[in-house]
Every structure is written in C-alpha cells, then in structure tokens.
Chain A
Amino acid sequence: MSRRSSLAHLLPELVRTLFARRATVRFPSEPPVLAEAYRGRGVVHAELCVGCGLCVRDCPAFALELEREGRHRFRLVHFEDRCAYCGQCVDSCRQDAIALVSEFPRASPCRTAFTRVLVTHEASEE
C-alpha cells in the first residue's frame, strides 16, 4: 500500500488527461488511421489467378464464387456484403494472388453495389 486512502485519488490523472490528447476521433471529418495490416477490401492480381477455386472452397462466409465456362474462361466474383474480412482466401491461395488492403469498404443502401468481379479470365492463346 503506497498511499493511504484519499478523498480525491483520481485528481492527478484528471489533470494529466486535461493536458493530454483527446481520445475521441471525430470520424467523418477526421479519417480513421488504419493499420498497415488492416484487412479491408480484397484485391486480386488477375495475372496470377489460375482459377483453382481454393479460395472459394475455404471461404467460411461463402463470399466468393467462381463462374467457370470451360478450362480457361472464368470469373471470380466477390460478394462484399457476405464477406467477413477474415483473410482465409489470402491464406488459401497457393499463387499469392489475393490480398486484403487497408481500404474501407464503402457503405451503400443497395446490396448489388457490393458485388464485385475480381477476375475476368478470357480464353487466351495457351
């Protein structure tokens, strides 16, 4: 017991707080500082994606769909409204084609606004 019971024990901390930086972030006018590792919007390096579907298989929220027409024609569609931003797809991808970047997914009243085509792979020369 360093100090005896006192009537105003918090007072030093009150004074310190008075001169310290406020903890509040004024959100819309002050943009939030996102960590570098922040798991936000998903991006895919289209040239690396081979359409193996591992990410689709492992996604716990069923937020990814692979639409396949033939061996080299496929589309990878991301449903951001279902996405849990857990990063499992990044982990599952053997080509290191997917990344979650520190960008805030926007809000929208329209659900279809959250459907994004990540990769469109047309039949190429190979």
Chain B
Amino acid sequence: MSRITIPIGPQHPALKEPLSFLLTVEGERIVESALRIGYVHRGLERLFQDRSYVQNVHIAERVCGICSHIHTTAYCQGVEALLGLEVPRRALYVRTLLCELERIHSHLLWLGVLAEHIGFTTVFMYAWRDREIVLDIMEDLSGGRVAHAVNAIGGVRIDIENDHIPAIHARLDELERQMEMFLGVIQHERTFQARTRGVGCLTQEQVQRYCVVGPVARASGVAMDIRRDQPYAVYDELSFRVITADEGDVWARTMVRALEIVESMGMCRQLLDKLPEGPLASRAPRRVPAGLVISRCEAPRGELLYVIRSDGSDRPARVKIRTPTLPTLATLKDQLRGVHTADVPTILAGVDLCIACADR
C-alpha cells in the first residue's frame, strides 16, 4: 500500500495548540510520526531575569492561559521559601481555593475539547457552558476569568466575604448536578465509549519510563499527586481521594479527570467551610537573599516545578520551569504508532497538551 504523509499543525482545525506532526500513513493506519514543537516559545524564562520579583508574578501568570493561577502559586511559594516568609493561613486558604476552582475549569475545558475532537459537539457545548459556572465564581472573586492576579508574594490580593460564601455553594450545587450528567455520558454513552476506549493506551511501565505526571499517569494506575505526596498550601488539612484508573486509555483519562472535578468541588466546599480569619498578606521585602529553591505544585495537568535561584538582588538570577506537558509529549510517538488516523485528534486531546506551558 502506498504511503502518504499527512501534516497536522501548527495550523490545523483539530489542533488548538501550536505543535506540528508529520504523520506517515498507510491506508488509515499510522506507521510513523514526527513531532515538532517550539512555535510559541516566548523567552519567558529569560524575561524573568529582567524583572523584579514583584513584576515576575505577572509574568508567571502569563506562562499559560488555562493554568495561570497554579503558575503564580508555584512561583510565589518558591520566592516565599527563599525569603523565609510566613504566609497567613487565610491567604493560603484563598490560594488553594483558586487552585481547585482552576482545576475544575481546566478539566471541563479539556472535556469539551475532547468531545469536539470525537465529533460530540453537544457535549463540547455543554462542557463549555457549564464551565462558565466556575468562571463566574472566579470572576466574582478575583475580577478575572482566567487571569486572576490573585497571588502576591507573601499572600493573596483578594478576600472572600462571608456573605458571598452561600452563593458559591449554590453555584457548586448547580455544577454538581451537571457533573452527574457528564459522568453518566462518559460511563454509559455508547458512541463516546466507542471512540475513547482502547485508544492511546499507556501502560504503567511506559508512564514510569517517560516520567509522565498528572491525570495521564493516574489513568494508567500510577497514584501520584503532589497535593498528597508533598502537600503545599493547606492541602494537608483537606481530605480528598487521589483518583486512579487501570485502563490507561483515553476513556480512563476522561474518567479520572471527571472524578477529579467532583473531588475538587468537595475540596472547595471544605475550604469555604474552614476559612480561618486573619490577615491576607504579609509584607515581603523586595530583595531576596541568595539561594536556590525548588517549588512543586500539582497543576491541572500534573506536577509543575519551579526552580528559582537568587543572587541577593531584587531580580531572580534564574527561573527554570518544568511543565507537566513535556514528558507527555515524549509518549505521543508511542501512542500514535499503528493507530487509525481518526484517533489522532482523540489521542492528542486525551493527554491534554498545553504547548504554551511547554514552549514558554
């Protein structure tokens, strides 16, 4: 059979992320794939070195459009550790609340993207419609839908008023009902299963060999979660399950993420109920003592790692970001070998790539 080469990306209707694939296809089967990244490299890590620590909070926020808050959390946490700064508990609660809300919104966005890629437009519309519930909560709290500008070094900038809490609970109730519907579709809708089961399988060994993190790893049975393994912020005071699945295919990833949304909603409720009184920020000095710090967070897509080196001035000497997408990219060659061309978008969507994070 003759081979043809199909280009996918960097501009392609299927791929909202700027990466490029060259797929060599025999009939409808893929025999070879070549990946190219770097289309949205913006030199952000270098930019960090030219700005003060305060300004860098906003640079970190703009590394990624979806997981903006977790980037600032990782960054601020690192700088606070370098300063030896005690962050008020109320601030940590607000920070964690935003982290979990952001996880819900990121996972719902992803569910929509996956649904659209398998031609399930209705679920795409519903997922993005119901994502507005979370976005509304975040907009009311912080004034921004995706760029929240909540974190500051030493604390947070927003407060949650007590009379606002019932409204958030009510919205979470609404989302809970919708999540039940989504879980029903994921578990029972036949066409959905036909397109996602057995597609893009990764075994536990592969996951560990490629150092894959986050929901993709958890869907292959690797129970790793920074929130539990190395709790930051106030995660040690919350009760939650680490969701895992054994199948390792796109369906398992969907299931893990959907159940994680449910877990996150539970965590949001705990945070709102336990919210302690107190100040929102402690004053941070502008100059940061020399040193090196590693800050880890569980981003919606997996472990996010910031390495910050300070030389004692008011600007970091080096900021290195390791995003959860990077190891996942390496697995794509394995996942795409021998699959049907129709499954390529499903696989690419299934791992939830964030190229803006990975390219920086």
**Do chains A and B make direct contact within the complex (CB under 8 angstroms)?**
yes
Tell me the A residues contacting B by CB distance below 8 Å.
1-7, 9-10, 12-14, 17, 23, 35-39, 57-61, 84, 86-88, 91-92, 100, 102
Since A23-B125, A37-B139 are in contact, a sample of 19 more A-B pairs with Cβ atoms closer than 8 Å, ordered by chain A residue number, is A3-B184, A5-B188, A9-B188, A10-B122, A13-B181, A14-B122, A17-B126, A35-B136, A35-B140, A35-B143, A36-B140, A37-B142, A38-B144, A84-B58, A86-B58, A87-B143, A87-B149, A88-B54, A88-B58
Residues from chain A with a CB closer than 8 A to the CB of B142 are: 37
- By secondary structure, the A interface counts as loop
Q: A1–B149 Cα gap in the complex (Å)?
A: 41
Residues from chain B with a CB closer than 8 A to the CB of A2 are: 184
- 21 A-B pairs whose Cβ atoms sit less than 8 Å apart in the complex: A1-B187, A5-B189, A5-B193, A10-B123, A10-B185, A13-B181, A14-B122, A35-B139, A36-B140, A37-B140, A38-B139, A38-B143, A39-B144, A57-B52, A59-B55, A86-B58, A86-B61, A88-B54, A88-B55, A88-B58, A91-B157
Closest A residue to B126 by CB, please name it: A13
B51 in contact (CB, < 8 A): yes
**B91 CB, min distance to chain A CBs, angstroms:** 13
**A103 CB, min distance to chain B CBs, angstroms:** 12
Residues from chain A with a CB closer than 8 A to the CB of B189 are: 5-6, 9-10
**A93 CB, min distance to chain B CBs, angstroms:** 12
Q: Interface residues of B toward A: which range?
A: 35 or more
Residues from chain B with a CB closer than 8 A to the CB of A14 are: 122
B33-58 interface code vs A (CB 8 A; 1 in, 0 out): 00000000000000000011011111
B128-144 interface code vs A (CB 8 A; 1 in, 0 out): 01001000100111111
Closest A residue to B189 by CB, please name it: A9
Residues from chain B with a CB closer than 8 A to the CB of A87 are: 143, 149, 157
B209 in contact (CB, < 8 A): no
**A89 CB, min distance to chain B CBs, angstroms:** 11
- Say whether, besides A38-B143, A60-B51, A87-B149, A7 and B58 are in contact (CB < 8 Å): no
Residues from chain B with a CB closer than 8 A to the CB of A12 are: 181
- Contact of A5 with B190 in the complex, beta carbons under 8 Å: yes
Closest A residue to B184 by CB, please name it: A9
Q: A63–B28 Cα gap in the complex (Å)?
A: 53
**B59 CB, min distance to chain A CBs, angstroms:** 6
B152 in contact (CB, < 8 A): yes
Q: A100–B122 Cα gap in the complex (Å)?
A: 38
B14 in contact (CB, < 8 A): no
B292 in contact (CB, < 8 A): no
